[in-house]
Amino acid sequence: GAGVSQSPRYKVAKRGQDVALRCDPISGHVSLFWYQQALGQGPEFLTYFQNEAQLDKSGLPSDRFFAERPEGSVSTLKIQRTQQEDSAVYLCASSFGQAYGYTFGSGTRLTVV
């Protein structure tokens, strides 16, 4: 596709439920990032992939958060045993590489009730 596609657009989860958020990057983009944006804040880095290799996961807030990109294309961000503080917009971005700029998807708004 022409842009970065994220699904679902909206997700409501009961506290304790596991969720999986999907990101389809722009075809050929090597780098893929996940960011978390809380209400009224700027996006905060979660994790970074170069092809299938997860090179940086230092932004993941707890071991309940897990991301994968097994074939170097589609990525999934999984959150286990969701908590209310996980409520946020989760943004995915992809790029050909560091010097080429980043294209963001529209995000998945997760609400934990």
Partner 1 sequence: DQQVKQNSPSLSVQEGRISILNCDYTNSMFDYFLWYKKYPAEGPTFLISISSIKDKNEDGRFTVFLNKSAKHLSLHIVPSQPGDSAVYFCAAEETSGSRLTFGEGTQLTVNP
Where along the sequence are the contacts to partner 1 (CB under 8 A)? 4, 31, 33, 35, 40-45, 48, 50, 55-56, 59, 91, 93, 98, 101-107
Element (H, E) at 46: strand 44-50
Cβ proximity to partner 1, 36 vs 82, nearer residue: 36
Cβ proximity to partner 1, 45 vs 96, nearer residue: 45
Shortest distance in whole angstroms from residue 110 CB to partner 1 = 14
Cβ proximity to partner 1, 12 vs 55, nearer residue: 55
d(CA 41, CA 18): 24
- Closest Cα partner for 59 from 80, 82, 36? 36
Shortest distance in whole angstroms from residue 29 CB to partner 1 = 14
Q: What is the CA radius of gyration of the chain?
A: 13
d(CA 42, CA 5): 20
